[in-house]
Chains A and B, each alone.
Chain A
Amino acid sequence: DTAVSQTPKYLVTQMGNDKSIKCEQNLGHDTMYWYKQDSKKFLKIMFSYNNKELIINETVPNRFSPKSPDKAHLNLHINSLELGDSAVYFCASSQARAGAYYNEQFFGPGTRLTVL
């Protein structure tokens, strides 16, 4: 009965490769997010997405792209991986439509990406 799940939990890859991280939520939420947590534990929003609108943090390189096959999934695809992409990536979801921006977000367990 996991609420927000991510796969894989760990991802080790070489520079220049392309990789994807999958996220699924079974909470019926309408909005999903991707966050990056760096080595100092600082959390930063990368994307937020509902079935109508994608909001991209302007600091995110265009090598990162979210892909949503349906309302319950928001995958993160990364092209041409760089050393600086090494971090923990968290997926989250919330019910945010109709201005319900006070609802808390539910986080997945994270994917630790290591780029060698």
Chain B
Amino acid sequence: AQSVAQPEDQVNVAEGNPLTVKCTYSVSGNPYLFWYVQYPNRGLQFLLKYITGDNLVKGSYGFEAEFNKSQTSFHLKKPSALVSDSALYFCAVRPYGGSQGNLIFGKGTKLSVKP
């Protein structure tokens, strides 16, 4: 079965420190990979995506993610965390050959950045 795993329910980081939110996937073929962020009582906002090419992709709000095909991972990173980054982060994958862009989401990781 095709799936996305976010192994950490919560990540705690001090403001100014680097952060990593982990994501691994299990799908057939070469998937498209996405990160979304959800602030409390809001819809999801797109952060970044990997389609092809350079394994390091840069996105909104200073976030970046590194695609690692051999490890089937797509970890989200930021060099210096802000308190305002505290939110729920979702990794998503669109499997190759799937219908109409349907996404498979991970269960989400709550990021907490403390001052």
Name A's B-contacting residues (CB within 8 A): 4, 31, 33, 40-45, 48-50, 53, 55, 90, 92, 94, 96, 100-110
For B49, the chain A residues whose CB sits under 8 A away are: 102, 104
Q: Which residues of B contact A (CB under 8 A)?
A: 32, 34, 36, 38, 41-46, 49, 51, 88, 90, 94, 98-105, 107-108
Q: Are A43 and B99 in contact (CB under 8 A)?
A: no
CB distance from A91 to the nearest CB of B (A): 9
A48 near B88 (CB under 8 angstroms)? no
Interface pair A90/B98, CB less than 8 Å apart = no
- Interchain CB contact under 8 A, B44 and A90: yes
Q: Given known contacts A41-B108, A43-B90, A104-B34, is B43 in contact with A96 (CB within 8 Å)?
A: no
A90 to B107, CA, bound (A): 16
Query: With A42-B108, A107-B44, A110-B43 in contact, is A101–B88 under 8 Å at CB?
Result: no
